Amino acid sequence: MADLVATPNVPWSYLGHEIYSVSSQDNAISEGIISHNNPVVLLVHGFGASTDHWRFNIPAIAQTHEVHAIDLIGFGRSAKPSELDYGGELWKEQIVSYVKERIQKPTVIIGNSLGGYAALAAGAALENQSAGVVLLNAAGYFSDEKITSEPKDLGQKIRKFIGAGLSKDFLFKSLIYPLIQRLIFENLRRPNVIRSTLNQVYINSTNVDDDLIESIRRPSLDPGAFKVFQKVFQARGLKGKPIDELFMDLQAPLLLLWGDSDPWLRDAKAKQEKFRLFAQKASLEVKEVILNAGHCPHDEIPERVNEEVITWLKGA
């Protein structure tokens, strides 16, 4: 079954822009390899990633389910228009449209990081077309939290500094601020910086290989990539409903997978507890699994994640 790999789909248009996606072999159902009663699985990557980040997951899940993976607009091989208002609401609507227009079947949406937030928001919006949601170290905030918080990295600190006073200066806003952003962007897409960053968020760096680094670097060379970075850099929060409200809207089962050594998740234990608490308040059918991994467990320990997802899918 290992030969069930994903191939690029015919390009699909969203808001007039070309979107890249892949799917497992179309003849898998007709040949009786997988059951037509099984829901489709849609994979949604995190910030700076793409469909390539599911390289170890698609072959395994495709043994039992039709699998799609999509590049969110602004990332990967998808278009990178500068005029859009990037954030959770945009990506949610993209996923909803893809499910309704291209998949047209009940769908389980699996998302990592900001893709986890988009997956949850889309799953809630799809109502009975949502067959389930799987969150891998999902981003997002709750109603009792502020969207903005004390900055941790250099880019966030620069942005706060600018916003504190100098942002009112036309010269600074029009010349110096874009220059700072450009310097940050150019630094972040250097292969050695990408590798260093991944080594921080992968506890086991075995899978931090040249293919992964190139899959992140390559889209940053596309025309429009810097403008997208600027838009996301300047955005405040994910611009969508808080997690607790999305849980109340969700009508499908939920699987929470947490890499418990995620350095990008502030107050990880408290965050996990909030997800668990509000899922229970919403009376969701929820399962939670804690994994020995970092921010991207699906790529760091794919065999373990695949096992949990496939077992859970049997009941979805």
Q: Does residue 272 share a domain with residue 127? A: yes
Average pLDDT over the chain, rounded to an integer: 88
1 assigned to some structural domain: no
67 assigned to some structural domain: yes
Domain containing 194 equals: 154-234
Among 22-26, 227-231, 269-273, 276-280, the minimum mean pLDDT is found in 22-26
Q: What's residue 235's pLDDT?
A: 67
108-119: average pLDDT? 97
Q: Flag whether pLDDT at 302 surpasses 50.
A: yes
Q: Does residue 122 share a domain with residue 47? A: yes
Report which of residues 7 and 237 the model is more confident about. Answer: 7
Task: Quote the number of domains for the chain.
Answer: 2
Q: What's residue 234's pLDDT?
A: 73
Q: Flag whether pLDDT at 1 surpasses 50.
A: no
Q: What's residue 145's pLDDT?
A: 81
Q: What's residue 239's pLDDT?
A: 78
Q: Flag whether pLDDT at 160 surpasses 80.
A: no
Cα distances (Å, whole numbers) of residue 192 to 156, 210, 216, 277: 21, 10, 12, 40
Q: Does residue 185 share a domain with residue 96? A: no
Among 110-124, 149-163, 302-316, the minimum mean pLDDT is found in 149-163
Q: What's residue 29's pLDDT?
A: 60
pTM over 0.85: yes
119 assigned to some structural domain: yes
Q: Are 208 and 195 in contact (CB under 8 A)?
A: yes
Q: Does residue 252 share a domain with residue 125? A: yes
Q: What's residue 175's pLDDT?
A: 60
Q: Does residue 53 share a domain with residue 28? A: yes
Interacting residues of 152 by C-beta distance below 8 A, sequence separation 6+ = 266
Residue 177's nearest CA partner among 165, 193, 189, 190 is: 165
Q: Does residue 284 share a domain with residue 210? A: no
Q: Flag whether pLDDT at 173 surpasses 80.
A: no
CATH code assigned at 290:
3.40.50.1820
CA pair distance 269, 265, nearest whole angstrom: 9
Type of residue numbered 38:
N
Q: Flag whether pLDDT at 226 surpasses 70.
A: yes
137-145: average pLDDT? 91
Within 10 angstroms of residue 239's Cβ, the number of other Cβ atoms is: 15
Q: Is 237 exposed, middle or buried (0-12, 13-18, 19+ CB in 10 A)?
A: middle
59 assigned to some structural domain: yes
Provide, rounded to the nearest whole percent, the portion of the chain with pLDDT above 70.
85
245 assigned to some structural domain: yes
Q: What's residue 149's pLDDT?
A: 45
Report which of residues 221 and 175 the model is more confident about. Answer: 221
184 assigned to some structural domain: yes
pLDDT in tens, 9-34: 998 999 999 999 999 966 566 566 67
Q: What's residue 62's pLDDT?
A: 94
Q: What's residue 146's pLDDT?
A: 61
2 assigned to some structural domain: no
141 assigned to some structural domain: yes
pLDDT in tens, 47-100: 999 999 999 999 999 999 999 999 999 999 999 999 999 999 999 999 999 999
Within 10 angstroms of residue 255's Cβ, the number of other Cβ atoms is: 23
Type of residue numbered 123:
G
Q: Does residue 185 share a domain with residue 275? A: no
